[in-house]
Structure 1
Amino acid sequence: MTSALKKLTCSKKRLVPFMVAPKGQNLDYLVQLAKEWKLKTVIDSKHPLSKAEDAWAKITDGHATGKIIVES
């Protein structure tokens, strides 16, 4: 699956899919990872609210390699 994700994102970064169902046990696991600094969110880019259209274009083009943040 990871090789398929690399092809979709055109990235050489190591991608590890992580799916969580909203169960207490899973959320506890995420909290523990965060406390141990083992959970990392990849941020692709940040955009001011006035440039939200540019952020949306990047999302829909499929060229993002992480989360896109729109700040007010």
Structure 2
Amino acid sequence: YRQVWSHLAGEMTLDEALRQAVVATRRLAKRQLTWMRSGPEALEFDCLRAGVADDVAAAIAPRIGAVRA
């Protein structure tokens, strides 16, 4: 959003705002991937598969219990 506001304020051209937005988005994605790799194991679920909600509930129930204890 910062790049759009800068463009609307006349601080940069639309092309420059778009270029900077792409760069900022790539940097954000890289930071997110780095953060995800540094954390505890990630659980992955196929959100399109029937019954996935039950799988998610079963996977997180023990973790919730551990936090509450």
Normalising by the smaller structure, the TM-score range is under 0.3
What TM-score comes out, normalization by structure 1 length?
A: 0.26
> Which structure features the higher share of helix residues?
2
TM-score normalised to the size of structure 2? 0.27
